[in-house]
């Protein structure tokens, strides 16, 4: 059975029945037909194989970058199998600015709209014009507009109504020439004279200092979403915890850093089997070398239970956990 350890960044020792690669839409459709029980995978930075998968894992290696220019913007058509950080780096080098805040996020371009990846006050949905995909049932190419993608916080139509129904082949981005730099969030606000290059460098510096490199220490980045609660609930929480950090996101809602909640429950550095809650960034769970899926689930459930017990705030995993038959919900 093919080994999946090198195909997901948490690096658990899981297997699958078959492992295949596709480089274009027609090959993707053929493989999906050949293996009805399958899981589509990019670079595996947001998927954790908690046990052997009973189906086929199909790797999306669709490549390519096409660029056109209009009076007001640059338009990029990018293959779903391209590396995300490499795209951000290329865009910066070519003067296509705007995505610097999203530097060093692991994963593929095709995964970016699914998760609506975000960092430092910015989400990728801001720049996505359309998403090209293949409808698995009909084999037809479908193009979804920005609005049809239904982007939300780490969410999209691809995780909801279209889950398991489409194969993303290309993502089309629009980068306005008059884009205003976003330095309102976290450490970026300390930049005295921000430019796209200094934002890019700052983001890489901060992420590198806080987050473990998955090439050296297995992890899937942020394991949990930052919880969003209504203002009334937050005000009650703040009375009990005056020091609680937060971000107003509009719509009578407040976002709370999950890392702070986990830290308050004293999970930094705690270990279950070979899974450890990272000592400097508790939002990240790491594989010390021989972690198992059971270790991952136990640690995650312990954290979720502790946070909800103390704060009354439920945590939701940001990563996708894949078990024997498919996605698993904690």
pLDDT tens-digit profile, the chain (330 residues) = 999 999 999 999 999 999 999 999 999 999 999 999 999 999 999 999 999 999 999 999 999 999 999 999 999 999 999 999 999 999 999 999 999 999 999 999 999 999 999 999 999 999 999 999 999 989 899 999 999 999 999 999 999 999 999 999 999 999 999 999 999 888 999 999 999 999 999 999 999 998 999 999 999 999 999 999 999 999 999 999 999 999 888 889 999 999 999 999 999 999 999 999 999 999 999 999 999 999 999 999 999 999 999 999 999 999 999 999 999 999
DSSP 68: E
How far is the C-alpha of 89 from the C-alpha of 79, rounded, in Å? 16
Place of tokens 């053929």: 30
pLDDT tens digits for range 163-198? 999 999 999 999 999 999 999 888 999 999 999 999
**84-94 vs 196-210: helix axis angle to the nearest 10?**
150
Handedness of CA 103, 105, 110, 113 (dihedral sign): negative
- CATH number listed for the domain at residues 65-203: 3.30.465.10
Answer for the pair 283, 222: CB distance below 8 angstroms, yes or no. yes
Answer for the pair 168, 132: CB distance below 8 angstroms, yes or no. yes
Pairing of strands 284-287, 218-222: antiparallel
Set 129, 148, 308, 318: catalytic member: 318
Q: Establish whether 222 is a catalytic residue.
A: yes
Count of C-beta atoms within a 10 Å radius of residue 96: 24
Set 136, 154, 207, 320: catalytic member: 154
Per DSSP, what are the bridge partners of residue 12?
Answer: none
How far is the C-alpha of 76 from the C-alpha of 173, rounded, in Å? 5
Q: Where does CATH 3.30.465.10 sit in the chain?
A: 65-203
Closest CA to 134 of 296, 234, 24: 24
Q: Establish whether 30 is a catalytic residue.
A: no
How wide is the angle at C-alpha 191 spanned by C-alphas 248 and 318, nearest 5°?
Answer: 45
Is 214-328 assigned to CATH 3.90.1150.10? no
Q: What is the pLDDT of residue 314?
A: 98
- The model's pTM: 0.92
How far is the C-alpha of 4 from the C-alpha of 14, rounded, in Å? 5
How wide is the angle at C-alpha 55 spanned by C-alphas 7 and 318, nearest 5°?
Answer: 55
Q: What is the pLDDT of residue 250?
A: 85
Answer for the pair 274, 292: CB distance below 8 angstroms, yes or no. yes
Set 43, 136, 222, 320: catalytic member: 222
Q: Where does CATH 3.90.78.10 sit in the chain?
A: 214-328
How far is the C-alpha of 177 from the C-alpha of 270, rounded, in Å? 46
Closest CA to 36 of 15, 56, 59: 56
pLDDT tens digits for range 23-33? 999 999 999 99
Q: What is the tally of helices (H) and strands (E) in the chain?
A: 7, 20
Per DSSP, what are the bridge partners of residue 59?
Answer: 21, 41
Alpha carbon of residue 133 to chain centroid: 19
């Amino acid at each position: 059975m093919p080994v999946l350890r090198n195909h997901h960044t948490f690096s658990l020792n899981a297997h699958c029945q078959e492992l295949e690669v596709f480089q274009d839409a027609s090959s993707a459709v053929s493989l999906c037909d050949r293996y009805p029980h399958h899981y589509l995978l990019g670079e595996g930075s947001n998927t954790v194989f908690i046990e052997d998968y009973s189906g086929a894992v199909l790797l999306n290696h669709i490549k390519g970058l096409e660029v056109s220019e209009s009076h007001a913007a640059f338009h990029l058509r990018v293959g779903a199998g391209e590396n995300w950080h490499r795209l951000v780096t290329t865009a910066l080098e070519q003067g296509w600015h705007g995505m610097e805040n999203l530097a060093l996020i692991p994963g593929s371009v095709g995964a970016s709209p699914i998760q609506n990846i975000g960092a430092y006050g910015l989400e990728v949905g801001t720049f996505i014009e359309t998403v090209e995909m293949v409808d698995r049932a009909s084999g037809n190419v479908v193009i979804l507009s920005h609005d049809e993608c239904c982007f939300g916080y780490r969410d999209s139509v691809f995780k909801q109504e279209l889950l398991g129904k489409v194969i993303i082949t290309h993502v089309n981005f629009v980068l306005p020439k008059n884009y205003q730099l976003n330095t309102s969030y976290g450490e970026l606000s300390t930049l005295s004279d921000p430019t796209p290059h200094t934002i890019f460098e700052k983001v890489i510096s901060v992420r590198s200092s806080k987050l473990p490199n998955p090439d050296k220490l297995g992890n899937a980045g942020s394991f949990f979403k930052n919880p969003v609660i209504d203002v009334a609930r937050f005000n009650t929480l703040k009375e009990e915890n005056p020091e609680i950090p937060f971000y107003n996101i509009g719509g009578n809602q407040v976002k709370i850093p999950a890392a702070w909640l986990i830290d308050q429950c004293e999970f930094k550095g705690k270990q279950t089997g070979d899974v450890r809650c990272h000592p400097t960034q508790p939002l990240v769970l790491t594989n010390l070398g021989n972690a198992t899926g059971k270790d991952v689930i136990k640690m995650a459930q312990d954290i979720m239970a502790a946070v909800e017990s103390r704060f009354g705030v439920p945590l939701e995993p940001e990563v996708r956990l894949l078990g024997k038959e498919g996605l698993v919900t904690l």
